[in-house]
Structure 1
Amino acid sequence: MVEKMIRFSALYLPFLLFCSCAYFAPRGKMVISDPFSKIAWIKNQDPNYESGNLPIALNSPLIHQDMVFVGKNTGVMEALELKNGRSVWHTQNEGSFHGGPQVMDDLLIYGTTEGRVFARRWATGELRYEVDLGATVESPASIYEGRALFHLRNHKIVCLDAKTGKILWAYQRSVPYLNTLQGVSRPVVYKKRVYVGMADGNIVALGLNDGTVIWERKLTTASKFVDVDSEALIVNDSVVIGPKSGLLYVINPTAGQIIRTFEYGLAHVPFDDKGMIFVPTTDGQVVKFDSSWKELQKIKLSEASLSSIKIWKDHVVVSDVKGKIYLLDKDLKKVLRTHQFGHAYSAVFGDLQVKDDYLLILSSRNRLYAFNWPGAGKDQ
């Protein structure tokens, strides 16, 4: 009997171990290992803090070429090698970061909670210019034709010459609500117009050249927490946006007419994958639409709000505000893998970053994770 058990273990143990880190796709599909099991590197970015006063990361990293750029709560902006996390350069700034950095040509452009925008050479960290905008810079820059647009905490949209830092124009929104949600809508440019959600429940279309209001549209009639904080998605000559507490809207960009509405609270900017649109919702669902806005499939992932969505190696990867990551097939039929960050107060508030085999995630507990896709297996 003992001999039979030993023989059984020898035959089947490798099989069981293989099954623990891989899933079997349907015939003809690839078999992949668990991508969350292979962490290329981790950076602990936690500053010193007093017990009971946890510092929270709200910003996002950026991958550019073979480098990673990420801000710390201490005010340090750092450049790392993507493959191993080694520091290339770092520099101290006043304040911390709510929006991630962006790249234009040879410049790394980012803003701080002290209201200053910096432009540095991304390869070396050399300062090219800095400019004071007077209020916390909440959004990453939106770069378009040599301009950099920011959304500030005081409900102001500012457009800079991205090469020099000269302020070209500013639009100030009067918001009557005393209580607004953390975060803002990043400005998006389409056909010489700037589309941005505001904390008073409106989406506004501004002229790119001078910031004049072309149209505005009220998206919610709620009495509080009406913020339209999601970045707009431009797809099929339409603007897709919505408040967290309301509906999902498809809007005509020319005059602001509402084309379609859907009963989903928008948690984050949707992802357009070759005409297939994946929408993350505030009630923990991912909803898939085709280019004509026919709902194809949805899947419930979490009781919490989702926070970011990307396509990674032909799969859907999603995060939620409870610190859980999900890997799904594009048909949204099945959750293939999950990963839970260890700390009880971990969450993901920023954007997931994807390049080739790498997935970068900055948790709210100031841990920067670089997951490395293990590579495709063989066809069955």
Structure 2
Amino acid sequence: MQRIIRSLLIVFMTLGLASCSLFSGDEEVVRKPKPLTEFKPDVELEKVWSKSIGEGDEGRYERLVPSISGDVIYAADAQGHVVALNRETGKEIWKKSLKFPIGGGITADYGMLLLGTLDGHVIALKEEDGSELWQARVSSEVISSPQTNGSVVVVQSIDDTITALDAQTGKELWHQENLQPALTLRGSSTPRMEGEAVFVGLSNGEAKAFRITDGGPLWNSRVAIPEGSSELERMVDIKAQPLIVGNNLFMVSFQGNAAALDMYSGRVLWSRELSSYKSIAEGFGSLYLTDDSSYVSSLDQRSGAVSWRQDKLEYRLLTAPATYSSYLAVGDLEGYVHLLSQVDGGIAGRFKVGSSAIKAPPVVSGDFLYVLSADGTLTALRQKST
């Protein structure tokens, strides 16, 4: 029953952002997506190629984010269709249908493709031809992307259990269970591996670090403290993958804070009130975040001070931002890709990919910007030459 409530909550929350609040009565607030306005673009995008991957996300909210390795881009749909394409031409290299529904995006690294499934499996395929290397069962659904350093695969399942698997065989090496609040957003954060440690964000607002070799705890710290009288008000989930820049670890929580932590000790260096469950981008000494009202903000990495905030795309269900040249790219509920200036947040460009919503953050490689729409269409964009 608890899992059903969690699943419904994120659906209601997302619909609430697009139409109205979760609460009825005199305090009901209508939250309609802000209409787009005309502007003079500083940059224009053009479509290079477009390819149907499959059935898309089937109306679910999985993070089906493509992954790039060399000259190949890999993508999957919710039904388990996996495809490898030449990233410059879109030409199909191979395609495979798995027997499992895919929950999170692909990770392509060290010659392997790693995927998590909605029935609690981690699957490893060969990058070269999609043949299966191994599959392993973990504690529950996997809606994040498994991570690897070539020797160990680490995955965070929906119940916040962290599991380490042998990268060659899939054999479990260790796991760490973590207590969850009664009510959480559907999904989980994606672990971040660096050196000898793996860093995770949890549904209770805590950040933790474990030794990769044996799962021993290194430190734990609190990014957000639950507040309020109801379980809904006390939700402070960390769903975004931690970001590492230098020795600093950056995290953000829903109804909580964006925070910088010392990577080695977990000490909080600064904290800024901000609510988001989407990944953080960085560039030019700044952090870029999309909050739950679809405001895009720039925070100074050293102090957390807000440099600018763009509110012209309010309630348009923006994706997490991706840095693209000197711009930020975000997708929205109507199939638009917006380019914002990293300097001041001004809207610099816009391109309509299609009529389907864009839920996965854009993926950048070189001059290309890749966008996976909810209907399963993968589109490669590039800046028009002047």
TM-score by structure 1 length? Answer: 0.81
* 1:69 positional shift: 0.9
Match of 1:186 in 2: 190
Distance 1:155 1:333, change over 3 A: closer
User: What are structure 2's unaligned runs of at least 5 residues?
Assistant: 1-37
On the 8 A contact 1:101/1:140 being kept in 2, the answer is yes
Write the letter of the residue equivalent to 2:338: Y
* Match of residue 251, structure 1, among 235, 255, 261: 261
Match of 1:331 in 2: 343
Match of 2:99 in 1: 94
On the 8 A contact 2:329/2:337 being kept in 1, the answer is yes
1:8-40, Cα deviation, whole Å (9 max, x unpaired): xxxxxxxxxxxx99845xxxxxxx4x20x4252
Q: Are 1:212 and 2:228 matched, yes or no?
A: no
Distance 1:290 1:153, change over 3 A: closer
| SS of residue paired to 1:137 | coil
Tell me the C-alpha RMSD between the 2 structures. 2.7
| SS of residue paired to 1:247 | strand
* 1:248 positional shift: 1.1
Rounded Cα–Cα distance in structure 2 between residues aligned with 1:44 and 1:119: 19
Write the letter of the residue equivalent to 2:307: L
Rounded Cα–Cα distance in structure 1 between residues aligned with 2:206 and 2:61: 28
Distance 1:216 1:57, change over 3 A: closer
Rounded Cα–Cα distance in structure 1 between residues aligned with 2:39 and 2:50: 19
Write the letter of the residue equivalent to 1:210: D
1:166-203, Cα deviation, whole Å (9 max, x unpaired): 211111112141x3212211111234222211122222
Match of 1:40 in 2: 49
On the 8 A contact 2:59/2:374 being kept in 1, the answer is no
Rounded Cα–Cα distance in structure 1 between residues aligned with 2:88 and 2:121: 31
Distance 1:320 1:175, change over 3 A: same
* 1:149 positional shift: 0.9
Aligned ranges 1:1-380 → 2 under 5 Å: 23=41, 32=43, 34-35=44-45, 37-43=46-52, 45-46=54-55, 54=59, 58-144=63-149, 146-177=151-182, 179-218=183-222, 219-222=224-227, 223-224=231-232, 225-293=235-303, 294-304=305-315, 305-320=317-332, 323-340=335-352, 342-343=354-355, 346-375=356-385, 377=386
Distance 1:243 1:57, change over 3 A: closer
* 1:77 positional shift: 1.4
On the 8 A contact 2:371/2:379 being kept in 1, the answer is yes
How many positions carry a matched residue from both structures? 341
Rounded Cα–Cα distance in structure 2 between residues aligned with 1:234 and 1:259: 14
* 1:290 positional shift: 3.7
Aligned residues with identical type, % of pairs = 21
Write the letter of the residue equivalent to 1:244: F
Larger radius of gyration: 1
User: What are structure 1's unaligned runs of at least 5 residues?
Assistant: 1-19, 25-31
TM-score by structure 2 length? Answer: 0.79
Distance 1:234 1:90, change over 3 A: same
On the 8 A contact 1:236/1:291 being kept in 2, the answer is no
